[in-house]
A = this chain, B = another copy of it.
Amino acid sequence: MRKSKVETAETRRRIVETAAREFRRNGVHATGLAEVMAATSLTHGGFYRHFNSKEELVVEASAAGMESIIERADAAARRPDGKSGPQAIVEAYLSMDHRDDPSEGCPLAGLGSELARASDETREVVSAGVLNFLELIAEQMPRRKHEAAKSDAIFVLSAMVGAITLSRIVTNPELSAAILRDTKRHLKNA
């Protein structure tokens, strides 16, 4: 049953990808390793050939989730559709698609309160992701001094994370839509 080195690395990568998705969808605590392995088309016994613990997977999946959302924001900022960079990021982030698909979305929104209680190592890699995200947003504000742009970026990210989180909690569809719409509008004017 032994697999080649290439296949092994590929399997490990698939487990991390699947976990990143499942964690964001169901929460880290509520997602079992057996579930992650089954979703990767493996049995759960093989997990420890790739990782030393669930915690190790959480760290890597969190990092992968941050990278993926930053990449998507970057792609949105680069799309030549007439919108300014920060505005394009805000529109993509505060979309109903993002709200309705946590499994592919931002870990800060999908796992926010769980990440606040996560291990130092997990919070460390997520912090690095936050810094990269802030840098990306700040870069899109070329007219200002970098310090001011960084501060603006912090504000934009806070509002975006809070808005997606709230829009997923409230049961009233109009209120949920209003949270996204109003936050977008206010960030546009900022």
Is residue A166 contacting chain B, with contact meaning CB distance below 8 A?
yes
Complex-state Cα separation, A2 to B119, whole angstroms? 44
Contact of A170 among B109, B113, B123 (CB under 8 A): B123
Count of identical protomers in the assembly: 2
- Give the residues in chain B near A145, CB-CB below 8 Å: none
Count chain B CB atoms within 10 A of each CB in A163, A170, A179 and give the residue with the most: A170
Complex-state Cα separation, A159 to B154, whole angstroms? 10
Is residue A97 contacting chain B, with contact meaning CB distance below 8 A?
no
| Cβ of A95 to closest chain B Cβ, rounded Å | 15
Interface segment among A7-15, A38-46, A79-87, A125-133: the answer is: A125-133
State the A residues within 8 Å of B (CB).
Answer: 26-27, 29-30, 102, 108-118, 120, 123-124, 126-127, 130-131, 151-152, 154-155, 157-163, 165-166, 168-172, 175, 178-179, 182-183, 185-186, 190
In contact, B154 and A113 (Cβ under 8 angstroms): no
Complex-state Cα separation, A30 to B116, whole angstroms? 13
Closest 6 A-B residue pairs measured CB to CB? A162-B162, A116-B168, A161-B162, A158-B162, A158-B163, A155-B186
